[in-house]
Amino acid sequence: MTTKDLVPAPSGPAVADVTVDQKAKEWAREKLSQMTLEEKVSLLTGQDMWRTNAVQRLGISRIKTSDGPVGVRGGIFTDGVKAASAPTGNVMKEVCEVLISEARSKEVDVLLGPTVCLPRTPLGGRNFEAYSEDPFLTGKLAATFINELQKAGIGACIKHYAANDQENRRFFIDEKIPDRALREIALQPFQIAIRESNPWTLMTAYNRINGIYCSAHEFLIQKVLRGEWQWDGLTMSDWFGTNAIVPSLTAGLDLEMPGPVRRRGEHLIDAHNKSLVDTSFIDASASRVLELLHKVGKSDKPDWQEGPEAAEDLPEHRQILRRAGAEGIVLLKNSGNLLPLGTLDGKTIAVVGPNAARSVATGGGSSNLEPHYRTTPYDSIKAEVAKKFPAAKVQTHRGILTHRYLPLVSPNVMKNPETGKSGFVLSFWRNLEHKGEPFQVENRPSSNLVCYDTLPPELTTGERYSYRGRTTITPKTTGVHQFSLSSCGPGKLILDGNVIVDIDRHWWSPKSALFMSYGSPEERVDVRMEAGRQYELVLESVSREPKPYDLDYMAMLEREEVQDGGRIGFLENPGDLDGYMQEAVDMARASDVAIVVVGKDHEWETETSDMVSMDLPGRSNELVAAVAEANPNTVVVNQTGSPITMPWLDRVPAVVQAWYQGQEQGNCLADVLLGAVNPSGKLPITFPRRIEDTPAYVNYPGEHDVTYYGEGIYAGYRYYDFKKVDPLFPFGAGLSYTTFEYSNIRLNKDILAPDGEIEVAVDVTNTGSRDGKEIVQFYVTHINPRLGRPPQELKGWDKVSVPAGQTVTARAVLDKVSVSYWDDSVDKWVMEGNAELYVTAAKDSRDQGLSASFRTSAKDFQWVN
């Protein structure tokens, strides 16, 4: 169920292409025999931010990687070539077709996804990347993603191994996870996906598990991944997440990313010369790098120079992403059948709220990219209404401000003094005084002046430099406006020759507005400015101090030069904020229908920081309540990747969970609200009523960099069911514009053997007047198991299209994975002999549904892979 958009689960384990694997091993073996120690070691670290090292002497090319789970950004992190922005979390074969095409247009060999870590708390900053809170569902969806990419020759990188489920202190946190929870919850998505798709690469996590960093975790990599699961692909670190030289290699970490080299290189050669690491470890990891090179088709392409990345905005891709996004939207409430909006001729529709007239394509961090284009709810609704109801009127008002940081300088008020276009001119010097001629000058389109991707290697690994960004600002209004600055090294923001912000020291604060930079907290200043007057705006700063390699890992990460740079914000005086909100409420009152678009964005919901609350930002709840009171026909649209509190739920007739739907987000929403698409999405996560009800509440975020997984195997809906805590909306919930009834559940056999399967089927009748799609969920329950079990667990699903008035059959297959649990007394999966179970076909995790019983064969069965 991402249940945001489901595809049928693979019917069984993927069969590895033995011929391809064998040829890759033979080619790697031949090349390895010709290499020097130095050349082998060079393969074990990146060349730059996204590429591995080449060995030109032997015709060995390099591998190019790229983020990520919801698009292919390419080789520039900030202000790079535009790319298709897919719906977050949706997995469809057609969406993978878009990603494959995008990867080829940017010459990408390995896509850094899928993300399969489970959302442990609604506050997780990276939850929006995840597929689901359920490990079985997540693993199955990830396998589909991986299989589709790799059939086309694009490598997939499943991540982050393992349990990278909080951003708060992610470099340091030690997660104390009991064995059963580790196996059944944290590791199971990886195990299922690896068994059914054989990903070519895997990325380790930043965090520690039971005292050991994941990138040097011998138990996780050598015993479980390589030993039990018999997986022989390439392991790479998360970016800047290699925390040791020899221990990471002997634990099984093949590739340190990114480059240039930080931990390995000369340090690893020196360790080898001192007999601290055997050649066999170096050879094994170098071989896997070479094998990957062969798998992605570069063994016979010793190209050292890439062509320019292309931005291919194809009409067929637009259609795919629009369809995928609409099918992922979840209708949570629809009292009185307010939706879909009916005949609107002559009527007025108010589209209000902080996200009404802006594009919120995705969350922040590794998933963020610049889409080919953007759509907004207001623009899309207005366009679609005009096609069908030309006499209708659609209007919009923001109502409130909800920014976490001051917005970046608007392109409409800034001008690059050299190009005359919107943006900054950014100059670099190989000294700390901005003296002499700059060695590099770039034109940047935004005021997020990240310094990394385009710099020479020596400047990203220690050599100090200074930089200056310049633009002109012409405000539209007269008044007291706000500027802000967040920078990594000491920096000054200068307006018309006057220093308005002075950051006089180096920073490594995770509260920075700069992604991955650990720069300064945002500093704001009020400045009075005149409308129409041109002001010169300058940022002068220097890179951070080089990190000392004699520090231990935790201290080094505190000072890690992940990125340098500065972020400049600018907000013109919005005037009376109370009056501003009242204008939106008055617009809603004067309209026939009010659509309130609220949510979060890439600043609130982002990699590197967790959220502080389940509440919507700013005065969002106040705005929703006021609009609901003013207009009885109020539709609330929420754009988040995580659950939120809804104190206004009883006062609004319709609620839509829209997620982050990429570049087509406005069109997707318009299709659902106006009825062009009958919604069929289901919640892949439980929406609790309050944060205090959540499984990890007592233990998150931990103390002294330690967090205990006290919920054990009772994660997600398992916890709410076991504790009998009523959620706001249960896992799997989602309405349609039609209605469905289930009947005639049956099994094709009533005994499940260890190597056997049982098919469960149920008839689904569309009892409404519209064609629709329904996702039938199959939950398995153990009767009197030896060890404690959740009341039920999702073990299958089927998405069926049912014409109005007709009946179709939904099916799923149960096997040993469906009925086994991890027994830590024997360290194996156990399928109890002669166990009594039943399977329920349900509409969500709290639906009673229809059940059928079955048993396992008489003898206990134990297994590991």
Count the helices and strands in the chain (H runs, E runs).
19, 37
Q: How far is it, in rounded angstroms, from Cα 271 to Cα 280?
A: 13
**Cross-strand pairs, 841:** 778, 850
- According to DSSP, residue 712 is labeled T
Q: How far is it, in rounded angstroms, from Cα 488 to Cα 544?
A: 6
SS3 454: coil
| Strand pairing category for 634-639 and 654-657 | parallel
First to last CA, the chain: 24
**Given 3-state DSSP classes, what are the helix, strand and coil percentages for the chain, each rounded to the nearest 5?**
25, 25, 50
Q: Concatenated DSSP letters for 490-511?
A: SEEEEETTEEEEEE-S----TT
Nearest Cα neighbor of 516 from 563, 452, 450, 568 is: 563
Nearest Cα neighbor of 672 from 288, 332, 261 is: 332
Nearest Cα neighbor of 524 from 495, 487, 485 is: 485
Amino acid making up residue 137: L
Amino acid making up residue 515: F
Nearest Cα neighbor of 566 from 435, 408, 457 is: 408
List, in order, residues 6 or more apart from 418 with CB less than 8 Å away: 425, 443
Q: How far is it, in rounded angstroms, from Cα 807 to Cα 816?
A: 30
Nearest Cα neighbor of 570 from 369, 405, 361, 399 is: 405
300 is catalytic: no
Q: How far is it, in rounded angstroms, from Cα 256 to Cα 51?
A: 11
Nearest Cα neighbor of 469 from 498, 449, 439 is: 449
List, in order, residues 6 or more apart from 825 with CB less than 8 Å away: none
Q: How far is it, in rounded angstroms, from Cα 111 to Cα 96?
A: 11
Q: How far is it, in rounded angstroms, from Cα 538 to Cα 420?
A: 16
Q: How far is it, in rounded angstroms, from Cα 191 to Cα 670?
A: 39
Nearest Cα neighbor of 572 from 638, 693, 474, 468 is: 474
Active site residue: 5, 48, 238, 844, which one? 238
In this structure, what are the phi and psi dihedrals at residue 784, rounded to the nearest 5 degrees? 55, 60
For helices 665-673 and 377-388, give the axis angle rounded to 10 degrees.
Answer: 50
List, in order, residues 6 or more apart from 727 with CB less than 8 Å away: 686, 687, 688, 689, 693, 717, 720, 846
Residues found in the chain: 865
Is the distance from CB of 448 to CB of 469 less than 8 angstroms?
no
Q: Could you give the angle at the alpha carbon of 164 between the alpha carbons of 49 and 821, nearest 5°?
A: 135
Q: Tell me the HSE value of 368 on the side-chain side, using a 13 A CA sphere.
A: 19
**Cross-strand pairs, 425:** 443, 470
**Cross-strand pairs, 156:** 111
Is the distance from CB of 287 to CB of 33 less than 8 angstroms?
no
- Locus of tokens 């207009």: 631
Q: Concatenated DSSP letters for 726-758?
A: PPSB-TT--B-SS-EEEEEEEES-SEE-TT--E
Helix H or strand E encompassing 762: strand 758-766
List, in order, residues 6 or more apart from 576 with CB less than 8 Å away: none
Return the active site residues: 238
